[in-house]
Amino acid sequence: MKERKQIGRMHPALVRHLPTMSTAVTHGQLIKLSCTWCKTTHRYEPADLMQLRGNVPFLNIEVNFRCSGCGKQEYLKSDLEVPSAKDRVGMTVRRLVEIKTVQRPVWKDVKL
């Protein structure tokens, strides 16, 4: 988990007061990630992100992502959005379909 990188060196007492993914679920908010480089924008349900990262603070959530358009990480900006019922009609939201586990061999040279 990149939570440490996400919140930097903030004091733990302050971290407890940051809005988290569960706060966003409670308030019906969406996480909007925009790339200022290639202008790609995706919206995510915070409940889906909680399955991946846990109940992490919203602050700097973009450090956990790469742009699906250009692959760059440094141009991503995150925002919380509360779309009205009217705005939700026809809105595209990226939903989590499944989490795949990748098996990768790890080798080590040993002396016999």
* Among 91, 107, 81, 92, residue whose Cα is nearest residue 28: 81
Q: Which stretch binds Zn ion (CB under 5 A): 10-18, 27-35, 48-56, 81-89?
A: 27-35
Q: Which stretch binds Zn ion (CB under 5 A): 18-26, 38-46, 90-98, 102-110?
A: 38-46
Contacting residue, 23, 37, 53, 78, with Zn ion by CB under 5 A: 37
Contacting residue, 18, 63, 70, 93, with Zn ion by CB under 5 A: 70
Contacting residue, 10, 15, 18, 38, with Zn ion by CB under 5 A: 38
Any contact of residue 67 with Zn ion (CB under 5 A)?
A: yes
Residue 76 bridge partners (DSSP):
35
Any contact of residue 35 with Zn ion (CB under 5 A)?
A: yes
Q: What's the min distance (Å) between Cβ of 80 and Zn ion?
A: 20
Provide Rg for the chain, Cα atoms: 17
Secondary structure letter of residue 4 according to DSSP: H
Any contact of residue 65 with Zn ion (CB under 5 A)?
A: no
